[in-house]
Each structure stands twice: as C-alpha cells, then as structure tokens.
Amino acid sequence: MKKQLLLHTAILSALAVSARPGDDGDIMLNTSYDSIDSVPENFRSLYSEQDGKAVLSKVVGLKTQDDINRLQGALEKERNDHRQVKSMLGKLGDRSIDDVLADLDRLPALEAAAKGADNIDEQIAGRLQQETAPLNRKLNEYEGKIEELSTSLQEYKTREIHRDINDVVGKFATKSKAIPEAIEDIQFMARSIFEKNESGDVVAKAGIPGVTPGITPEVWLVELQQNKPYLWPQSNLPQMGKSGKVVGGNNPWSKDSWNMTEQGKILRENRQKAEQLAAQAGTTIGGQRPN
C-alpha cells in the first residue's frame, strides 16, 4: 500500500508540474523511451527494460500503447477469422452442415448406380456407407466425450489420492513436530513416493530409490528426519546418547541405532510398523543386526 501511494504521489507530482503554464521545467512522461537514461531522473524507478527500451510498467492499471496494439491485433484477427468462416458457410445458402453431410453420404451410392446395374456389389457398398456414415459420426462424437470424461475422472481420482496422501503425511509430520512451514514441502515429496493400495492405505510405491516398498508415511518420516534434518527444529532432531549412538526418532533395527528394547516396545505397540522399520533397515523382526 505504501509503495502504491508513493507511485501515485510521483505521478500526481508530474502532472502538477506539467500543469503549470509557461514553466520551462514542465515534465511530460512518455510510456516508453529508447533507454533508461532518457527517462527523467526522478521517474526512472517507474520504468523497466523491455525489448531494449525503457517502458513505463510500475503503475497499477496502466495500459501502454503496446498493450492496446496487441489487443487490437488479436481483435482484428478474431474478426477476420469470423468473416472467413461466415463467408464459407454462406456458400451453403439455407442448407445446414448436416444436409451437406447427408448428400456426401449418398454420393458413393449414386456414383455406383450411375455405372449401371452390373455394379451390384459397389451399389450395395455405397448404400451401406450411406447408412452407416451418420452412425460413425455419432460414434466418434460419443467416443470423444467418453475420452473427455475418462480424463476428467482420472484427474479427479488423482486429486483425491493426493489429498489423502497430504492428510496422512501432514498428520504424521505434525506428530513428529516438523517445522510447520516445512510440512507442505514434505507433502510435496510424499506425493511422488506414496500411493493408495487396494485396501485404501497410503503406502510407498515400488521402485522408488532409497524407499522400502509398502512402508507407511510414519516410517518414511523416521528416515526423512535423518536425511533432511533441516525440516525439523534442532530440539526435535535425534540426539547422541551416552553410548555414542543416535537415539530418539531413529530406527532401532538399523546398524547404528540397534536397540532390542526399543524393538520390543514397537513390536508390542504396532507389529506392522515394526516389520516395516526392520525391512527398511535391511533385516527382519528377530533377525540379525545389519552389517
């Protein structure tokens, strides 16, 4: 608001100066100059370089001559196109496009009939084409509509899946105390990693480098917290324990954070999560510590 007020004040000042009759210091601003050096010094901040010229561009709502020329050019093109179409359709007289198409459909049959009675097969083919042509046009029309609807449906499904992924990832990211401003970035990353399985659960896709297929967003966030710690406040990042191992927010099945007590706790609370964490670390529940 303050910037707009300053701009308006500058313009009003210029108008006030130019309105003084007989004053040799009158200033008349052009919408463009050959260079920024040609612009009156006090008003150079209102101009920006475009196509090698200094153009008045920092005034809200101002339309330059170039804008008007482009608009007039587009309008003239639209009018010319309309005139051409109208001229072509005018050649049909009172007949509609459907009437012309119907005549074209009859043409093969008429040509075959003109060749005489010996061309029975050709006449039958021509008559068949005449009868089926309108149906084929309708079929093509409906196929186009079906394709449009299928595309719209797929786009809708994709939006729904992304919304569900955002909701689940957002919930666990908040639970893990990620920086609020970073949650949108975490959700963006998750949309390329996760999908919904047949049961409707949000799980990691197969073939994503560095991500174990089938893990939940909650397990993925444990790994992400270590790989991208800047997405979490320092106070919530994993800390070094007395043993020299990283503790808190880690995978107790991993080599560096191996902790059988924590494994048992997670296993009792959520076996699926335990299995996913073990798989992510390259081992299994009850398996050996990764090398």
Q: Does any domain span residue 204?
A: no
156 domain residue, yes or no: yes
Q: Judge whether 60 and 4 are in contact, CB under 8 Å.
A: yes
Assess contact for 82 and 72: CB atoms under 8 A.
no
Sign of CA dihedral 125, 128, 134, 137: negative
Same-domain check for residues 88 and 59: no
The pTM of this model reads 0.44
50 belongs to a structural domain: yes
DSSP 288: P
Residue ranges making up the domain that contains 128: 83-162
In a domain, 218, yes or no: no
Instruction: Kindly state whether residues 113 and 156 are assigned to the same domain.
Output: yes
Residue ending a domain, choose from 143, 162, 181 = 162
First vs last C-alpha separation in the chain: 62
What are the pLDDT digits (tens) for 177-221? 999 999 999 999 999 999 999 999 999 999 998 888 888 998 899
Q: How many domains does the chain have?
A: 3
Both 94 and 156 in a single domain? yes
Q: Which residue has the tokens 């047949």?
A: 198
Share of the chain above pLDDT 90, in %: 21
**Domain for residue 89, yes or no?**
yes
Q: What are phi and psi of 107, to 5 degrees?
A: -60, -45
Same-domain pairing of 147 and 96: yes
Task: Give the pLDDT of residue 25.
Answer: 56
Average pLDDT over residues 51-59: 82
CB atoms under 10 Å from CB of 50, counted, come to 12
pLDDT of 240 strictly over 60: no
What whole-number distance in Å separates Cα of residue 201 and Cα of residue 205? 12
